[in-house]
Structure 1
Amino acid sequence: MRTYAITGGTDGIGRALGRLLLGRGDRVIALGSGAAKGAAFLAEAADLDAGARAHFVQADLSTLAGMRRAVERVAGLAGALDGAVFGAQRFQTTRVETADGLEFTFALAYLSRAVLGEGLLPLLERAERPVIANLAGPGGLPGTVAWDDLQLRRRYSGRRAAMQGSRCNDLLGADFPARHPGARTRYVLYNPGFVRTAMADPLPLPARAATKALALLLAQPAAAAAARVRELLDSPPPEPAAAFFRRRPVPMTGPDFDPAAAARLREVTDTLLADPRRRV
């Protein structure tokens, strides 16, 4: 029996993946912010006769305290992890600051993955073929890292924040071999493309309705994207780090994966973890 931790595990792709893994006999630790959705996840697990293998950790992954507490909770439930899947994200139409003074999307979609990846790595290294699967945006829509204004205090938009989060995760994955030379854990960046999830819910009504209608026509179901993640967990690439857009490999070259930019982001991240109210 293998053990997996999934952030965003009570919604969308994370929830569908948890169902697939439980259905084949694995153990799943789902992390999410809402108690009601956590209870629904546990009820679904019970319906699959998998109640003893399902765990819910309620966590606020937008705050440093919540991120660190989540690592502790997972470590308390599992002595080893076969995989950690990072899927927690929430689209914000307006700029919101967390309790640490950080822009919400930056904190949830990027920083939580940096903290949990480092914090859970000792558990992953105890497994036979450990994998970190970061559901981000390699090879997708363009975006840049606002090095002079990472918290987007001056020109915020939900799309700009989401795209910056994707680019930060590209650099996080590219930097993994440099941070952990010789690690057995494989780091996989995976862009599922257009998927039918609740990501459009925060949009204003006209845009929300249009996006949901378009999703019915063009987007793949969450279960299909989850099946691809399961494949990557079962058969990780041989390289220390790899990226995919759906089934197409994305070369980890060019500015999105630049080693110097990755090292720069690592330094900025270390500064923020030491003092999140530093102005960056």
Structure 2
Amino acid sequence: MRTYVITGGTDGMGRALGLLLLRRGDRVLAVASGRAKGEDFLAEAGAAGAGERAEFLRADLSTVSGMDRVVGEVRARTQGLDGLVLGAQRFRPGREETADGLESTFALSYLSRFVLGHGLAGLLERGESPAIVNIAGPGGIPGRIRWEDVQLTGDYTGMRAATQSSRCNDLLGVDFPVRHPEARTRYVLYNPGFVRTGMADPLPLPQRLLTRALARVFATPAAKAAVPIARFLDEPPGAAVTAFRRGTRLEPTGADFDPEAADRLYSYTVGLLSRTPSRRAS
């Protein structure tokens, strides 16, 4: 029996993937913030005969204390991991700050993936063929990291925050094997394209209705979009880090995957974490 952690695991692709893995006999620890959706996930797992292999970890992954708590909980619940799927994200049309004073999209969509990926690397190395699948946006909508104002205090838009987090995740993937040079864990950056999820829920009503209408016609159902992710977990690519946009493999080269920028982001992130209240108090 293999064991997987999925962030954003009670909704959309994360939920679909978790149920797929459970139905075939794996163990799944689903991480999310909403109690109701977590209970629904456990109920559906139970109805499928997989209740004893499904766990729900309720946590606010936009806070550093929440990220650290998940790392601790996972370490306490399992002796090894076969895969970590990083899918927690939420589109925010307006700028919001977390309890740590960080821009919320950056904290949830990038920083939580940094903390969990590095924090659970030891457990992953005990897996048979371990993999991290970071559901991000390589090869998607262009964007850049605003090094002069990473927290977007002066020029925020929801799309700017989302694309910046995608570029941060590109660099996170490139940098992972640098920080873990002897690791067997394979890092996969995966852009699933347009998927039918609840990502449109925070949008203003006209945009929300339009996005939902387009999704009904053009978007991939979450259950179908989960299948390629399961394949990455079953047979991780041979290279230490790979990137895909749906079925197309991308070369992790160029500005979006620049090693010097990745090192710069790593240093920025470590410094930022060291200054958060929960880390200073520990």
In the alignment, the residues of structure 2 paired with residue 127 and residue 180 of structure 1 have an alpha-carbon distance, to the nearest angstrom, of: 15
| Cα distance in 1 for residues equivalent to 2:235 and 2:127 | 14
The structural deviation recorded for 1:276 is 3.4
| 1:156 equivalent in alignment to 2:156 | yes
2:40 aligns to what? 40
Q: Which amino acid aligns with 1:37?
A: K
Counterpart in the other structure of 2:128: 128
User: Given the alignment of the two structures, is residue 266 of structure 1 paired with residue 266 of structure 2, yes or no?
Assistant: yes
Equivalent runs, 1:174-185 vs 2, <5 Å = 174-185=174-185
The match for 1:218 is 218
1:52 to 2:32 alignment = no
TM-score by length of 1: 0.98
Match in the other structure for 2:145: 145
Structure 2: any 5+ residue segments left out of the alignment? 278-282
Partner of residue 203, structure 1: 203
Point out 4+ residue stretches in structure 1 off by more than 6 angstroms: none
- Deviation of residue 20 (structure 1)? 0.3
Partner Cα distance (1:127, 1:196) in 2: 31
The aligned residue for residue 280 of structure 2 is: none
Name the counterpart of 1:112: 112
Q: Is the 8 A contact 1:102 1:276 kept in 2?
A: no
SS in 2 for 1:199: coil
Corresponding residue SS for 2:85 = strand
- Supply the distance in 1 between the matched residues of 2:122 and 2:177 (Cα, whole angstroms): 15
Deviation per residue, 1:51-97 (Å, 9 max, x gap): 00000000100000000001111111111000000000011011000
Task: Report what 1:190 is aligned to.
Answer: 190
User: 1:123-150, CA deviations, whole angstroms, 9 ceiling, x for partnerless residues?
Assistant: 1001110000000000101000000000
2:168 counterpart residue number: 168
Q: Which amino acid aligns with 2:127?
A: A
**1:225 to partner: Cα distance:** 1.1
CA distance in 1: counterparts of 2:201 and 2:183, whole angstroms: 39
Deviations 1:90-110 (Å, cap 9, x if unpaired)? 110110000000000000000
Aligned to 2:256: 256
Paired residue type of 1:92: R
TM-score (norm 2): 0.97
Task: Quote the offset at 1:174 in angstroms.
Answer: 0.7
- Tell me the SS of whatever aligns to 1:212: helix
C-alpha distance in 2 between matches for 1:207 and 1:276: 35
1:88 match: 88
After TM superposition, list the pairs within 5 Å mapping 1:66-105 onto structure 2: 66-105=66-105
Amino acid at match of 1:82: D
> C-alpha displacement at 1:176, in angstroms?
1.1
Q: How many angstroms does 1:205 deviate by?
A: 0.5
Q: Give the RMSD, CA atoms, in angstroms.
A: 0.7
The one-letter code of the counterpart of 2:86 is: F
CA distance in structure 2 between the partners assigned to 1:72 and 1:38 by the alignment: 19
Count of residue pairs the alignment pairs up: 277
1:217 Cα shift?
1.0
- After superposition, what is the alpha-carbon deviation per residue over 1:140-174, rounded to whole angstroms, capped at 9, x for unaligned? 01000000000000110111000000000000001
Distance 1:78 1:10 in 2: 20
Q: Which residue of 1 aligns with 2:22?
A: 22
Q: Percent identity?
A: 62
Judge conservation of contact 1:91–1:162 (CA < 8 Å) in 2. yes
Amino acid at match of 2:75: A
